[in-house]
Structure 1
Amino acid sequence: MLHSLEVSLEVSPVVRQAQDAAARAAVLAGVRVGDESELERLREVEALLVTVWGTTQHGAPIPTDLLRSISHAGCNVTVAYTGEGVLCGAAVAIVSPGNAGMYSLIAGVLPGLGDAGVGFALKQHQRAWALARGIDTMTWTFDPLVSRNARFNLTKLGAHAEEYLEDFYGPMADEINANDESDRLAAIWPLASPEAVACSEGAPLATDLPAFTPDQVRATGPDGHPSTVQAAGSTWCRVPTDIVALRVRDPGEAAAWRTATRTLFTTAFASGLAAHGVTRSGWYRLAIKGQQ
């Protein structure tokens, strides 16, 4: 029988901090967060993911049998339940060979709970889970055009991105991706970094677009407004505030944003820049790797 990765009996200060932060995040979100392995509960996780991604049961993002295997292998299936015991969020991650890192496969919360802190509580639980097992880095992919998710990953969690993956998953037909090319950024989350600790305590580094003049504008977006700006020692790149709605309303403009953003990120990363944060209005801050 396989067992979960061994948890150190001696709790280090960084692990204790992560556990305390995870507990606070769950309380603030009004949920109970933990690890799941029971078959019937994992069926509920599959159903939740189907609801979030707008697929059918036959196209479930992660089916129950795979969830069962991931849990049985000692990897991570994190769930969040409301006070009434209703499953409202889930996150799934596997462990890299040699326990060198953790790779998050998926995370989602029920529609309508995006601002309730459930997603943050799920990720903080995963952070504590990893650190307790001697794992200090988590990675995952996300669509750079979905500014809400980008801000959550890079600003609220303290991750950064320095790799652009073109059409990483190939064609995707769920309601969120709407047959767009599946370009992704690879998020890197150093779990014990000062940024991750500050974010876990509810104090992320401020990411605010500085005032800029016309001569600092380097490019305009498909909507005709500035999309790339050089200001305050950083490059700033804008994406749509709601790409999912734009894909429905104007697929041509959405595709143009994909092309423009792909060019900008690949060029920026090749020159040694990394994405370190995203503003509420969808502006990425690109700066030298390691520069906060």
Structure 2
Amino acid sequence: MSLNLDALSLAERAQFTAVSAAAKANVRVVDEHRRESLKDIEGLLVAIWGMSPQGAPIPFDLLRSISHAGCNVSAAYTSEGVLCGAAVAIVSPDGSTYSLIAGVLPGVADKGVGFALKQHQRAWSLARGIETMTWTFDPLVSRNARFNLSKLGAVTSEYERNFYGAMQDSINANDESDRLVVLWPLSSTRSSKCSEGSVHEVSLPPGALNNAREYGPDGQPALLESAGSLWCRAPQDIVALRKSNPQEAAMWRLQLRDIMEGAFASGFIASGVTRTGWYKLTPVASLTKETA
């Protein structure tokens, strides 16, 4: 398998690994253009995020326009032909792909469908000579953070406060909408390895928890420093915490905002997330070769 991959161009390899990821997730991922299917995608996004006072997360007419403009609307279908996931992306003026949204129906989120959708977007971009993708995500959602940084090979060093203003959908529950801006170097060595299933695993150094610089709202260590890197923790399930204890959730927001803004201003970059929700923040210079 590796010999065959080595014989392919980068775009061809990306297409191969995207198809492989879809097969592993037992789905078919396609570029969707059909009107009725785009209406189904609108419904899927509403089923995932709910309907806000502004309407659907991305309404049908906008999906139709994005598709018609030649940008990307990806859809994942089960072997029975049931829509189970979707991702939408446009092309920015700087020539990068900007992913607007990506979601998978509850119940199939742990089966690799999201990974297959992102690999499809990666292959779509590389086939058009685009080597960078960006998007935003909530830094408090540690599950998404690990997916983006460790499973895909993306990095982030840009923190945006209250990006959308107060959000009123069923997931964000009126929390401030701070976001991390993801940079995914699609042609980097690390991203290529991740596309083939090699997770960029990071783990806390031995004894690091004994030297906490800050503690979180739950009273446990939340900021560590070890061997030139910083480690900061996000809660395990912020969505549940917003419902059960919105005051504590708000405290997590402020603490993580303060830590990350300070670290990024000092030249650090978030490059991975542990299984327990710890971000690894590393000096930018030490990642130059790895993300090239």
Q: Alignment partner of 2:33: what SS?
A: coil
Q: Does 1:167 align with 2:162?
A: yes
CA apart distance, 1:12: 6.5
Match of 1:233? 228
Residues 1:92 and 2:88 aligned together: yes
- Structure 1 segment 1-292 matched on structure 2, within 5 A: 13-55=9-51, 59-97=55-93, 100-213=95-208, 216-292=211-287
Structure 1 unaligned runs (5+)? 1-10
Please identify runs of 4+ aligned residues in structure 1 that moved more than 4 A.
none
Query: Residue type matched to 1:163 in 2?
Result: E
Structure-2 separation of matches of 1:121 and 1:233 = 34
Tell me, yes or no, if the aligned pair for 1:212 and 1:231 is still in contact at 8 Å: no
* Gap regions ≥5 residues in structure 2: 1-6, 288-292
Q: How many residues align?
A: 281
SS in 1 for 2:84: strand
- Comparing 271-280 with 229-238, greater Cα deviation is found at 229-238
Task: State which drifts further: 135-144 or 50-59.
Answer: 50-59
Identical aligned residues as a percent: 61
Q: CA–CA distance in 2 between the matches of 1:141 and 1:113?
A: 22
Q: Which amino acid aligns with 1:79?
A: A
RMSD: 1.5
Q: 1:210-252 CA deviation, whole Å, 9 max, x = no partner? A: 2225662110001111000011331000010000000011000
Instruction: Return the letter of the residue paired with 1:19.
Output: Q
Instruction: String of CA shifts for 1:19-72, please: whole Å, max 9, x gaps.
Output: 110010000000000100111000000000000002269610000000000000
Q: Where does residue 3 of structure 2 map in the other structure? A: none
SS at match of 2:158: strand
- The answer on whether the counterparts of 2:86 and 2:102 sit within 8 Å (CA) in structure 1 is yes
Q: Give the TM-score, by structure 1 length.
A: 0.93
**Structure 1 residues 214, 30: closer, same or farther in 2, change over 3 A?**
closer
Inter-partner Cα distance in structure 1 for 2:285 and 2:239: 31
Residue 17 of structure 2 aligns with an amino acid whose one-letter code is A
Q: 1:70 to 1:209 in 2, by over 3 A?
A: same
Letter in 2 for 1:70: I
Q: 1:264 to 1:116 in 2, by over 3 A?
A: same
CA shift in 2, pair 1:214/1:126, >3 Å: closer
